[in-house]
């Protein structure tokens, strides 16, 4: 059974850094469009980034550009999201997901029967002083 397991979340001060990990099982992360989403309290999902093949291709939301870096470690079969210069508005539940195409990763509205992606359970990131 495919499994995506996030780790590395927690609390950081404004301006601080955190690195999220998403370890994949039963799929090869480098062959999927590995994607990060986040969900703010009481709001829908927001796409953060999509990475394909060891970070050679990476796409970021405007809110993440210049501050977040996504990468895939093929030996560990793990997706990472290095978050720097954190802001309070980065506080959210972060989810990783795996898709077989870029377009589905960008159009996803969350896990569901027609979504076509594999999803992790999510991990909380809190930016607070």
Quick: pLDDT tens for 87-107: 999 999 999 999 999 999 999
Sign of the torsion formed by the C-alpha atoms of 23, 25, 31 and 37: negative
12-64: pLDDT as tens digits: 999 999 999 999 999 999 999 999 999 998 888 999 999 998 768 999 999 99
Which pairing describes strands 10-12 and 123-127: parallel, antiparallel, or unpaired?
A: parallel
Under a CB-based contact definition with an 8 Å cutoff, are residues 55 and 89 in contact? no
Q: For residue 3, how far is the Cα from the chain centroid?
A: 14
Task: Provide, rounded to the nearest whole percent, the portion of the chain with pLDDT above 90.
Answer: 87
Alpha carbon distances (Å) from 116 to 13, 18, 79, 113: 36, 29, 19, 7
Q: HSE (CB half, 13 Å, CA atoms) of 71?
A: 9
């Amino acid at each position: 059974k495919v499994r995506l397991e996030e780790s590395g979340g927690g609390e950081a001060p404004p301006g601080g850094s955190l690195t999220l990990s998403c370890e994949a099982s039963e799929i090869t992360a480098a062959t999927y469009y590995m994607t990060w989403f986040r969900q703010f309290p009481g709001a829908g999902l927001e796409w953060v980034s999509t990475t394909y093949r060891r970070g050679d291709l990476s796409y970021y939301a405007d809110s993440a550009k210049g501050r977040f870096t996504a990468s895939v470690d093929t030996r560990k079969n793990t997706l990472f999201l290095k978050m720097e210069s954190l802001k309070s508005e980065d506080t959210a539940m972060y989810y990783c997901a795996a898709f077989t195409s870029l377009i589905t990763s960008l159009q996803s509205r969350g896990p569901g029967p027609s979504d076509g992606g594999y999803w992790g359970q999510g991990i909380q990131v809190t930016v607070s002083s």
